């Protein structure tokens, strides 16, 4: 019963997440190309992987775990909301039922905060980007679910400075981050499950996120950085 419980929790977190989703059929799967000369050990320094300039917007096509494909746009507003004493930029969604996103970046570290009854205390604050990332870097975010069960996200930098094609558009300077999920079962941490892969392009932001576990994800259709 505990296993079933944490998997339901995982499903809810995925569907409520600010970034993640998008299944594609084989013919529509995004291709990725990597420069053969790329040094996988290079460090991602001083890159703007999530621009927060006011008025910037991103249009996404999303295929959820269930339901029909839909599109929506997020726009960086001039408003903020305070989490942990810091002003998080509000990224407003133009589609009813899609929550606004709250992001705060400082010195290369970026956090995504919000409210959900799934988390003990009713809030979350995910550290989704880190300063000076290199391949193999990892970090974690631990929290207790509303049911009192310990959970953990494990982030790992899979690749840096990639080129990736999404919807026939080639993006460069792409950093790939994998997010795994684990929870305490019978007194010990369960085997991590790959929750999603996230692709961030320098100067643009999130261009794709995909969960093979749920066959769901999101791809960037259009954007403007102010």
Whether 157 has a pLDDT exceeding 50, the answer reads yes
In three-state secondary structure terms, 2 is helix
Residue 34 pLDDT exceeds 50: no
The fraction of the chain above a pLDDT of 70, given in percent, is 79
More confident of the two residues 192 and 16: 192
pLDDT score for 49: 92
Query: How confident is the model over 111-140, as pLDDT tens digits?
Result: 999 988 777 777 899 999 998 899 999 999
Where exactly are the structural domains of the chain? 2-224
Residue 37 phi/psi, 5-degree rounding, is -90, 0
Dump pLDDT digits (tens) for 69-126.
999 999 999 999 999 899 999 999 999 889 999 999 988 799 999 988 777 777 899 9
**Residue 185: pLDDT band by 50, 70, 90 thresholds?**
confident
pLDDT at 223: 97
| Rounded CA separation 32/167 (Å) | 11
The CATH class given to the 2-224 domain equals mainly beta
Query: CA-based diameter of the chain, in Å?
Result: 50
What residue has token string 């509000």?
A: 90
């Amino acid at each position: 019963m505990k296993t079933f419980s944490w998997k339901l929790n995982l499903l809810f977190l995925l569907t409520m997440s600010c970034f993640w989703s998008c299944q594609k059929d084989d013919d529509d799967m995004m291709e990725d190309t990597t420069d053969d000369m790329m040094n996988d050990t290079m460090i991602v320094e001083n890159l703007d992987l999530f621009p927060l300039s006011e008025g910037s917007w991103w249009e996404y096509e999303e295929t959820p775990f269930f339901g029909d494909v839909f599109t929506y746009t997020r726009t960086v507003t001039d408003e903020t909301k305070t989490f942990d004493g810091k002003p998080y930029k509000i990224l407003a969604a133009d589609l009813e039922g899609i929550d606004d996103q709250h992001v705060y970046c400082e010195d290369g570290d970026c956090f995504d905060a919000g409210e959900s009854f799934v988390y003990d205390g009713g809030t979350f604050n995910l550290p989704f980007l880190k300063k000076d990332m290199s391949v193999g870097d990892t970090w974690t975010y631990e929290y207790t679910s509303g049911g009192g069960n310990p959970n953990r996200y494990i982030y790992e930098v899979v690749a840096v400075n990639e080129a990736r094609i999404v919807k026939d558009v080639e993006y460069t300077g792409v950093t790939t981050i994998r997010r795994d999920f684990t929870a305490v079962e019978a007194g010990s941490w369960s085997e991590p499950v790959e929750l999603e892969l996230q692709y961030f392009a320098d100067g643009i932001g999130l261009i794709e996120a995909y969960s093979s576990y749920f066959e769901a994800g999101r791809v960037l259709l259009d954007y403007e950085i102010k």
